[in-house]
Structure 1
């Protein structure tokens, strides 16, 4: 069973803002232009004992078991040379907080998993060996790595970390409800107008006129705004989504977002969509129970939907705001960072050896099949485990196809900003304000964007050299 990615946006917002303010007080912090380089394979020759690599991660339950299996496999293949020890550090923001404490104490793990919203902080900390350095030193071929994932973690032309446990959102539908309403479940709605049209047929009322099944319902989740903007070809923040220079403002008061929020409000007012709020667990429960016939969620939720629903679950591309939008998809999840400062060349190289193992088609086939996360290496989908899963659950192929069809540009790369977690939480606040008060969508989203000006300025000032 796959586990949906953790969402601790509010906690992470406060954490990352604090991390930015701490960077200027940490030796080596600021700027993020690390001079740490990748050592060659020769440093692992003539070892007297295996090099120890501590790997901090946030995978527990089923995902943790699959990861432990990969670690055991690697260790068996590298006995006497490299030994990896996995260490669960709690959820994503807890792991980042633990890493911050380790930086201050000068005792970081050799390898660490950091979620997407921590990317700018990790660059600014200047303590890791950039992924590009390993690629250049070894002539490592990234040709089979999913381009959309490389796009996200590439900054200033260099890959900064290695994608690993990543996901993307999809449109999920109740296929049984579609068939009962006379709709084609093999052609899910592709944009907001089509969702409304389908919802008018899918919404069911009892004899008293009370809605017993809403056509649509999803959480007010900030990640979804990022997705809608990417699919509309709109940047989330300035300076080419923070890719050509430090972001100084967010742009989620864009007309496309205002259109989205106004559409959402209209769906609720017309009783075609269930008012859910920001709780993603409640949104998942509403879909699983048949309370809503269409929803938006991460690929990480698909396994749970299939196992917990009494109806056949269908999946389609994440919708566009309007027909004709260019499309694209922003990934979520985490990536792997190899710490350099305070670690020997042997430890750095040994960490890279393990990362290479994790990125092989064989490892990615097992990882994708066991967890539901995307296969970072697209050749992993051809592996036996992945093929077996695709045969049993063809819905999983939709995510891979959506990424393959994604536009690759700065908009689909996502915004790179030190207070990205706080931005996501603030976007949710503006969105929810528009849905639960008389505040117009344009005003609510503009006010939310303006509230971020000070946190952005403070973070940027804290990392200036």
Structure 2
């Protein structure tokens, strides 16, 4: 039975709330630090759970609701049953990713953080700068924990300055989705979706259908103007998103999404819309998803998190392929999305911190990851999880899900595919979207719009960097 019967809904930050408030928090004596409430930022050993007088309580803040929340609660219950009398994990839904991060910032200032918090990828630099968490690497080193089975691309993203900073958990990667029925009607091979922009245009010309009045009834292509896609296209072209080695060799001072490759991408997009080969869908991911499932766009771009909903809601056979390249000879690669788990040390006892690590280890086991992947559609962080009974059954029923794992497995792990690390990534993504959209709906050229967008972000980066010293 498919575990994700609805299309993933994504909340997208439209304001400076996250980065601005993060900078404010950091300016207030680093949001507290570990000196005021005790707690170590080094991993305690297993002895921390010896001679316990009572059950260790672990509070876990997360952003998983609906089906995903149900699957997570099931895993929490399983862990608690296995550790009855010693450890009890209580999951607490905080809202969407932005809300959870805001709640965590407030908790830092109040000196009352949860033991474990799930933070989305764009919050990684803030979490490092806040100085509240025990680096994941500390647990790995303390226990000699084997990260070998963990997906390399995920380790690559969450490793900063040579140290794993958090544990990947609910992660995804974008794909190309196709209407296989439309492909066959157009005489195209649905097992060979286009691989680059030129290919998409060629296929779109065959897939676009016009009625007797000349109006488009089905566009060949249609996807949201979503900033994450720019990050993907840049990584696949081996172009860093920000300077200083994508913010991993030093503090980033500017974003680079005005690169000629991105200018070409936006100009191509505009040409597709002008020629009525692509649906003009704007920035709404919900609108783009609906256009695909309704058959109004024969090809689209979306996260693996949308696949379950596509399969359930589409009145046609859905196919999946790798996220496209700008040019056929681009080196490829893939940046992940989603969130990771951070264990707070400041203000918490060694027993709580160790118990939190025991729970995270449980979530990363092949058995837990098989259930997680099968129930939610997220990647199996532990690659051995794909061999589990739940994941194997899902793969047999829906082979499209293997495309995501294959794309990551074939992705190079380097600075470009690691993604940009900076404190205002949420604002950068929105600025990229705004610039992209401006080039599509105004007389502003793609080059000018993207240049203006990067200038806007540079000022925000300067403010953030100044706030953290």
The match for 2:114 is 109
Which TM-score applies when normalising by structure 1? 0.97
Q: Does residue 1:442 correspond to 2:429, yes or no?
A: no
Query: Where does residue 14 of structure 1 map in the other structure?
Result: 17
In the alignment, what sits opposite 2:404?
399
Q: Distance in 1 between matches of 2:317 and 2:133?
A: 45
Q: Quote how far apart the aligned CAs of 1:4 are.
A: 5.1
Q: Say which SS state the counterpart of residue 10 (structure 1) adopts.
A: coil
Q: CA deviation at 1:27?
A: 4.6
Question: Kindly tell me: are residues 365 and 138 of structure 1, through their superposed partners in 2, closer, same or farther at Cα, counting changes over 3 Å?
Answer: same
Superposition deviation, residue 352 in structure 1? 0.1
- Tell whether 2:430 aligns with 1:425: yes
Question: C-alpha distance in 2, partners of 1:151/1:39?
Answer: 25
Q: What is the Cα deviation at residue 95 of structure 1?
A: 0.5
Residue aligned with 2:399, SS: coil
The residue number in structure 2 matching 1:462 is: 467
Report what 1:359 is aligned to. 364
Contact kept, 8 Å, 1:12 with 1:93, in 2: the verdict is no
**Residue of 371, 375, 381 corresponding to 1:376:** 381
Does the 8 A contact of 2:44 with 2:353 survive in 1? yes
Structure 1 residue runs of 5 or longer lacking an equivalent are none
Within-5 A mapping of 1:70-81: 70-81=75-86
Shift of 1:29: 6.1
Residues 1:174 and 2:179 aligned together: yes
Which residue of 240, 252, 259 corresponds with 2:264? 259
Aligned partners of 1:435 and 1:178: how far apart in 2?
27
**1:157 Cα shift?**
0.3
Shift of 1:8: 3.0
CA distance in 2, matches of 1:254, 1:27: 34
**CA contact under 8 A between 2:120 and 2:339: conserved in structure 1?**
yes
1:196 pairs with 2:201: yes
Report how far residue 60 of structure 1 moved: 0.6
Q: CA deviation at 1:51?
A: 0.5
Partner of 1:236: 241
State the superposition RMSD in angstroms: 1.2
Q: Find out whether 1:23 has 2:21 as its counterpart.
A: no
Structure 1, residues 227-264: CA drift from partner, whole Å, max 9, x if none? 00000000000001000001000000001100100000
**1:24-43 pair list within 5 angstroms:** 24-27=27-30, 36-43=41-48
- Residue in 2 that maps onto 1:298: 303
Q: From the superposition, tell whether residues 294 and 266 of structure 1 become closer, same or farther in structure 2 (CA, over 3 Å).
A: same
Once the two structures are TM-superposed, the CA of residue 16 in structure 1 deviates from its matched residue by 2.1
Using the TM superposition, name which of 5-14 and 269-278 deviates more.
5-14
Residue 97 (structure 1) aligned to one of 102, 108, 119: 102
Query: Post-superposition shift, 1:20?
Result: 1.4
Match of 1:322 in 2: 327
1:7 Cα deviation after fit = 3.1
* CA deviation after TM superposition for structure 1 residue 22, in Å: 1.9
What secondary structure is seen at the aligned counterpart in 1 of 2:190?
coil
Q: TM-score normalized by structure 2?
A: 0.97
In 2, Cα distance between equivalents of 1:444 and 1:418 = 23
CA gap of 1:211–1:95, structure 2 versus 1, over 3 A, is same
- The residue correspondences of 1:58-69 to structure 2 (distance < 5 A) are 58-69=63-74
- Quick one: distance in 1 between partners of 2:15 and 2:73? 26
Identify which range, 374-383 or 444-453, moves more after superposition: 444-453
In structure 1, the residue matched to 2:36 is none
Tell me how far apart the structure 2 counterparts of residues 121 and 5 of structure 1 sit (CA, whole Å).
Answer: 25
Contact 2:30 2:468 in 1 (8 A): no
Give the Cα–Cα distance (whole angstroms) in 2 for the partners of residues 171 and 300 of structure 1: 12
Question: Structure 2 regions of 5+ residues with no counterpart?
Answer: 34-38
Residues 392-424 of structure 1, C-alpha deviation per residue, up to 9 Å, x if partnerless? 100000000000000100100000010000000
1:434 shift after superposition: 0.4
The answer as to 2:133 corresponding to 1:128 is: yes
Is the contact between residue 13 and residue 425 of structure 1 (CA under 8 Å) also seen in structure 2? no
Distance 2:457 2:30 in 1: 27
> Partner of 1:278: helix, strand, or coil?
coil
Q: CA deviation at 1:6?
A: 4.8
Deviation at 1:35, TM superposition (A): 7.3
Q: Distance in 2 between matches of 1:278 and 1:232?
A: 23
1:97: how far off? Answer: 0.7
Taking the aligned partners of 1:27 and 1:392, their CA distance within structure 2 comes to: 50
